[in-house]
Structure 1
Amino acid sequence: MSLQTKNNQKTLSLSNICAKHKKEIIMIDIDSENKKVEQRFACVQCISDNPQCQYKTIEDINQKWNEKLKKEDHIFNDLKSNRLKKKEKLNQKIAEMRKNYILQLDDINETLRTGFSFTTTQAREIKKFNQDSIQQLSKEELNQQIQSLIQNNQEKLIQDSKIELIIKRDSRISKEIENKLEQLKQHDQLDIQESINILYDKTNDNQIQGIFQHIQQIQESTMVNQEQLIRKQELDEFISSSTQIYCQIDLFNQTIKKFQDHQIKINSINDKIKLFQDNQYFKNLLIQLHDYKDKFEKDFKNFKKFCEIDKLEKNIETLKKDYKKLESENLKLESQHLKEEQRLLNERLKKEQNNNDQLLQQLREQQINYQNQIVLLNQQIQDKDNLITEIQSRLDKLGLNIKPDLLKDQYWITLIKILQQKVNKQIKNSILIYTGTKDGLNNQQYWSKVNGKGNLLMVFKSKSDHILGAYSPCIWESCCGKYVADNTLSSFIFSQTNDQVFPLMKDTKKYAIFCHSNYGPIFGNGYDMKIGGDFKDGYSKLGNSYQYSCQNYGEFEPNLFGQKKPEIKECQIYELQFF
């Protein structure tokens, strides 16, 4: 395609025409993707049909094309210049290598020539005896050789001063040649690696040159003490050392690669030989290979460890990346989880708010209802108070408000009736003056509470849970033993468990109670009811002073305690007041 340039006023166009509209091509689309080259050329009609397309004018395309050509020329010139520089450096390096190599080999050859040759004088001094018979030796020589033969020791022979001197000299020269060969090998490796670095543009000269320039500036400064200046020799050694160590890195990496490749080759050959283990030759070869492999692994044990360290470091780096990735994913999940929790919490709060509004409305309705109920309850309470007052009045009349704890209501009412009939008075109050489980179930505590008191109602609870007791108006006095009479005949013994009351008989009224400080309460002569000082011992023989009906019990006395002995586990004593 050629350009049409009839005049400067006309828009530039290509010589060919649009295949679709048969008009001149004046613009080209170079920005769109996935478009065939033939579809990128546009005439006026194409531009009108595709207003969204960003077309470029022929003039713009020419400008871009010229810029591209200039860049290609620049790249080509740089490439050409770099190739020439690289060629020059390599030629210079190879010439330098050849020169140094020849010089070092010549030096080694000269050392070898001069170090391992004998002069005629040296040979004559070492082999000074040409005679093959001791008969031809002088007397002095004969004595020396006979002494040497007597010792007959190779080590002594070696210690001969001249031979020993030659051996030491040979050892020194061998070491010198070894050092020169080792230097030649190192220089050879470094030169080859440096040549490879030149070939692939690998260098650290920029950093070294920068250090060198700074050192020169310091040396040129008049403010620096001359003793502190870095000598040129030290600087040259530093630059040489830097070059060598960087070359050694590449050599070291190559050695690692060769070591790993050799390991692969060993394993590969080993696997292949295993396929032919039936053949004796291959069996022998496999044994030899195993021996070689063991020696190889032993010789390169530290090298293998280093390679494994490198592998471990790579694994650690991979693990760090995986950890960061997992950490990032975890943070992302936590963020998503928090958002979800926040959403659920907002929904719950909204729901709770709706519930609270409903509850608030219900509470308002209930408050009105409760206020009405309160008015009604206040009235009911007042009615209940009046009823309680009336019931309390009735209870006072019945004496239930002063009932002992161990007695049942109905049985207490029965005892009240009996008491009021016998004393012909109303009970005003009952005062609890002694509780056995609290004050102590023994005669000392008992008498400390009842001494000098009368009108005492005693209620007992035995081990078998029998409830019994007694009443007497007589005064209880702590003494060494005496009976107290009850002329009112109001004393009696009772059993709530058996629902029985045993009154004092008229003929034995002088034996109503018996007082003795060593015992507990005792009623009747012969002791109708006797409780010992420990409230466990004692007995009951009703019928001596207190009457009981034989029709109810036959020939046997009523079982007052529920067992033979009292074994009291609770005792309550009330002082009754009358009006």
Structure 2
Amino acid sequence: MNILKQNQTQEVQQDTICKIHNLELIAVDLDLSDKSQMQFFCGKCLVDKLNNNRVTTIEQSKERIIQFKTQQKDIKNKENQARLNYYKNILDQIMDFKQSINNSLDKMYQQIQQYIFPIQKEKQELQEYDQQFNYFEDLKQLSQLYSQGQQKSTKLEDDNNFIDEIQRQFELLFNCTEYFSTIDTFKNTKETIKDIIENNLIELIPIQTSKNEYKTPSLSRVCNIHKKEIIMIDMDSQKEEMEDRFVCVDCISANPQIKYYTIEDVNKQWKEYNEESDKILKEYKKESKNKKSDLINQVIQMRTNYNKKLNEISDKLISEQFLCVDKPKQSNQIKKISIQTIDDEQLIKDLKQLIEKEKETVSLNQTIINEKNKDSIFYKEIQFHLESLKQYDQQDISQSLDILKGISVERKLILQLTETIQQIQKSGQNDENQKNQVNFIKEIQEFIHQAMNYQLLSNVFNQTISNYQQNVQIIQQISQHIELISKDNNKSNISEQIKSQYLNLTNILNEYSNIFENNNSQLKKYCNIQLMEQELIKLTETNKQIQIEKNNQIDSLQQQYEQKIIQINETLESKEKEYQTIKQQFDQVNSENINLKQQYEQDKKQMIKQSEDEQNKIKSDYNKRIKQKDSELKDALQKLDQIHKDKLEQEKINKMELDKCQISEAGKLVTNVGNSYYYFCVCEQAIPKTGKIQFTFQILTGSEWFVGIGFRDIMQKNNFYDCHHDGYGTYLIYYDGRSWSHHNKDVHDKKLSFKFTNNDIIRMEVSIEDKYIKWSRQNNPQATATFVLAIDTSQELYPCVGLHQKAQIKILDCAIV
């Protein structure tokens, strides 16, 4: 008893413990509308059932706090590091901007100092200069002053231009690369802060609910048809409505041919799809961010190069302008001195120049030549800087387009080569080969510069070719259009002024077209070369095709020729074989004739011998046959006697049958002559032992009938009277629905069959192999009936009918099926 009580206590304790969380059950679900049995819950089960992340257990809340603290610490570290990075970038950029402004201000200060120094020097010279009077020179200057009006100071004009240039430089302080880079740094920092705010969020990790291993995963929705929970989803069919893809247990059993996926499989596919999509999105964002970063760097580099070149050009112009300040002073000095004050060498030189040239034409002395040479060199330098600026501009635009379109393979290799050279420079090996390494690096750098210039010029050249072709096409179109308009003007009554205008337009266009062709003859040749190359490629392909066709034709003709040769050889071989065969046959016939003669003689002797043997044999066989025929004759006489006896017996039976039944219509209609008992008529032929045979009877008159089969020998012993009794050798059905069986008493004289009456058609099917007989009524489709009996097939069976009191039955059909 104590053991039983302990077992019951343990069972009760097990029933009150949650199988999932191993905790005590504290609640029960009273809603059984969509459940097969009652459900109990522990504390964690209730929290899971709430399906709300804001309601947790104490243990789960502790785990969440630990995860929250860890995430918060990581986010703070990343945030502080990011803040340090972008503030450091801002400081560096501000320092660069400050240094740039200081450099520009120092440069302006030095330029102004350079202007102040000659002014101070001239002022001091004027103070120290003793005024000397040269009446004729002074009179000449006075006359020039009166004739030209008030003399203007060229120095003040130069000062005005110089101040404009200083003002422009001062205005460019906030239009330089460093300024815009600083502004871009502020903008990028704001975007970085925005990105940190969006991404540095604490993720509230959902509660890891305990999974019930005994329950099939399902969705929190029910089937629209069966009102049961969704446990699988149809993912492969072509259903348009998404609601039709959610299935419950009944839906699955109703459509077993459809392949369904479990909630776990679909959830796995969903997670994989989201992870792949997120991965692709991140890669695209990274690629887009890198491309935008490259564009920003490229724009900064463009601005740097552009401003740098402009500053160099400006410095050159300002310095050159400063050098020109002393020119008026030198001119004034020339005016003040005379021929008496110059040295002998200069005097002789100047006199030669005066004698060689006419006095009316002022010749170019050495000073003017030197000035022109200096200006030429200066202009070449400015031109070089402008060309470099143009090249930088085109190169920067080309690089920017490459970034937008994607870096080409050639440019990518150049960039990789540049990075490799930079890494080699950073390594800085201090050995004997350092000098050779430096020279090698310079050669590589020159090659990189030349390669980038070539790529730029190649793109420009391709663009020039494209523009040239477009310009030629447009000129042709305009010419055709003008030609059409001119034809229309000739046909219509247009004023001569308009015609002359169009004629003038045509002449101008033709003149431009001629000049355009002359100036771009090389481009025209190049385009023609391209067209010729394309035509050459087409002709080469055509030639290849023709050669292929020619080779194919030659191969085809060669194959035909070889085939004909093979056929001729085969014919010759066949003729040779026929000849050999005929020869062999001829030889064989000759040998056979010889053999036949010999054989004939042998056969002749053998035939004579065989003839004698056969004659002896025939005599012996004839004697044996005579004896056999005698015995057969005796047997035949005995059989004739038996047949005569059987005939007399059959005549007696037929006479007896004719006394009781009347048979007419070629043996198809049988009529009872009016007896008070049942008389049975039997067909002459037995039922075949193979296959199925059907007999169709029609009930004509009377009130009582039997239809079936029977053993004629047994029926004959009872003189064909009342053969429906047990053991009388018949299988029958009676008009009132009773069945009769020769060997089965369970169905004998039992109402198991169907009833039939006058005008009914009864079809009887018999199979000796399957040992059954089946009756069916055929004349009434609304009241058809069928009955089957097992039969004994140990003896031959015959179809038979039983009649009573002038009844009539007719055989309609007999067929093997």
Give the TM-score normalised by the residue count of structure 1: 0.49
Structure number having the greater helix percentage: 2
Output the TM-score relative to the length of structure 2. Answer: 0.36
